Structure 1
Amino acid sequence: MKLLIGDKNYSSWSMRPWLLFKHFDIPFEEVLIHLNQPDTNAKVLALAPSGPGKIPCIVNEDGSATWDSLAIAETLAERFPQHALWPRDAAARSRARSVSAEMHSGFGDLRSNMWMNIRASFPGKNATPGALADIARIEAIWRDCLETYSGPFLFSEFSIADAMYAPVVMRFKTWQPALSEVSKAYMRRVTELPAVRAWIDDALSESHAVPYLDVCP
């Protein structure tokens, strides 16, 4: 199985499924395709012609493609049931799906104003009212899940839900908004995971840059 991803410094959507493969030790071949290049779309389509030419995308053993981070996560959970990618408990699983879908479809102000750039540092910038409202909601989700399921991760053990929010942890480290101690502690636990540490190390060593994402006016 191939996983097509973008630059680790910038591609939040790529980070999510990559962490699942790595954390749960699911074998895969990583194919990195640089973002924001004239041939980015063509390179993806050459490997996954049945998809939309976007990353992340997995190319299955039969050549079929599965794209979109949440669709990939669901596919992995289905194909590898021996791993608890979703919580085993039905009620916890339902809630984990809900907060994952909320991350997947929401928080547009945060995405627009505080993009992922692991190598950058923009402390205190772009703290728009919309971005701050998104941050408040994310903190509420983290707090409620950690209290309900007793940590150390959102649903006790690391799951798809944590993978969905891991790029937010990267954003918060770059933009450094004011956060609660509960959020900061959760961020430390996420960052200390071997899979997350490996992603960060790779991002820091990349040489390809997307200039417009490296500056914050």
Structure 2
Amino acid sequence: MSSPTLTDKVSKMIHQDILNGELKPGQKLVVADLKQKYNVGASPIREALVQLSWTKYVSLEPQKGCWVAPVSITELTDLYESLRFVASVLIKQAIEAGDESWELDVLTSFHKLSRIKLSKEDFDWSEWEERQHQFHISLLEGAISKNMLNFFNDLINQVKRYRYYAVVNGLDSSAYNLDEYEMIMKLVLAKDADKAAEKFDLHLHRTMEQIQEVIEAAA
């Protein structure tokens, strides 16, 4: 068995190449090709692909092979409907139970997000996506339901693949509205649970529609 450290490293490299679009949805993943690409042995490649199948970035079929997980409107809708349902519960829990440390995390994550320039010339979309991802997580981490938080984290990591797919395939910085994020933050810190949940839900739904448009255009 290969070293867990090497397997994790290979898994992260394949994961990033899927996000960046170097490995495309539906592309067959051949161990021999990946060995050459990442300059490692077959064993860590196979173990990394199994790891990525757990997070649904990779599809494995016994005796048939392995592929980058496809994208589809059906899965996108299912992911976002599930995400919106869970997020609505968690954001209200977080506002009710979150302490000062949680509030500071929300404020800090928004501040980091707001530092990204949204102009087309200077826009660093990968950094924006990572900071936005962290902002979404920080909003809900004050919630008391750890099982539901784990479910949310699983969903948002699957959604992350779709968000990156949209950017790689044409979504630009004009789709992002920093004022929307600021409003969500202010409602959360003002402890306005109903309005915060409503605004966050609208934000998630709008994002889903943007990604859907990209998928339909690429079809």
Is the structural similarity TM-score above 0.5?
A: no
Structure number with larger C-alpha Rg = 2
